[in-house]
Chain A
């Protein structure tokens, strides 16, 4: 089955800096890669996703890049703000039409 590795586990940046979180996956058939943001005690919120037919997708300060050959994808947050502080999870489909398999998460801390 799918295996998703996520790095780093923690990331501390200064407000205004950029943050990058990386994930690798094992199943070359996977074709959908979402990123979720989770605040303490809350549900995960989808912040951006990408399908395998594109290499990059951007939404304001957030972007995701995908390298299918290397089987890795990354989340990029620019001009970070304190409210970006949360746990971020990457995910990939276990199999077509089945549940998402999540990475272990990255705790992002943005200090002002």
Chain B
């Protein structure tokens, strides 16, 4: 149980285009999902908290207009990187917490984004 699916696993795009990443909880409902970014050989840095049916909460320094988050259902959150630039190239990974409220987070498989 507690499987989180993330797609795509990797994407290459041209500078200036937008990329959408999907995160789905397959066998549980998640009122809250979290988006992290990880640069090579670095830790996971929290970008934003995605709440079902309400606006996302962004961490300091993360541009909400550039990283659009939508959490339209209890099993799906999406992250759209708008007008991507080479410096946005990174490993993006989502995580979800079941509605049981326990602290455990379950991670998606991650998306490697490369912006040319």
**What CA separation (Å) do A98 and B105 show in the bound complex?**
10
Residues of B near A101 (CB, < 8 A) are 46
B45, B110, B112 pick with most chain A CB within 10 angstroms: B110
From 92 to 116 in chain B, residues with beta carbon under 8 angstroms from any chain A beta carbon are 93, 95, 101, 103-110, 112
Inter-chain CA distance A43–B101, complex, in Å, is 22
Complex: A93 Cα to B91 Cα, angstroms: 22
Provide the bound-state CA to CA distance between A105 and B101, in Å: 26
**Is there an interface contact between A43 and B107, defined as CB atoms closer than 8 Å?**
yes
CA distance A45 to B42 in the complex (A): 16
Number of interface residues of A (CB under 8 A): 22
B12 at the A interface (CB under 8 A):
no
**CA distance in complex: A41, B44 (Å):** 13
CB-CB under 8 A from A22, the residues of chain B are none
**A11 to B107, alpha carbons, bound, how many Å?**
25
CB of A42 within 8 A of chain B? yes
Q: Which single member of B46, B104, B106 contacts A99 (CB below 8 Å)?
A: B46
Q: Is B67 part of the contact surface with A, judged by Cβ < 8 Å?
A: no
CA distance A42 to B43 in the complex (A): 13
**What is the bound-complex CA distance between A34 and B41, given in angstroms?**
20
Q: How far apart are the CA atoms of A77 and B46 in the complex, in Å? A: 27
Instruction: Let me know if B107 and A44 touch, CB within 8 A.
Output: yes
15 further contact pairs, Cβ within 8 A, besides A42-B109, A42-B110: A41-B91, A41-B110, A41-B112, A43-B108, A44-B44, A49-B104, A89-B43, A99-B46, A100-B34, A101-B46, A102-B44, A102-B45, A104-B43, A105-B43, A107-B41
| 5 A–B contacts, CB within 8 A, in A order | A45-B107, A46-B104, A97-B32, A97-B101, A98-B49
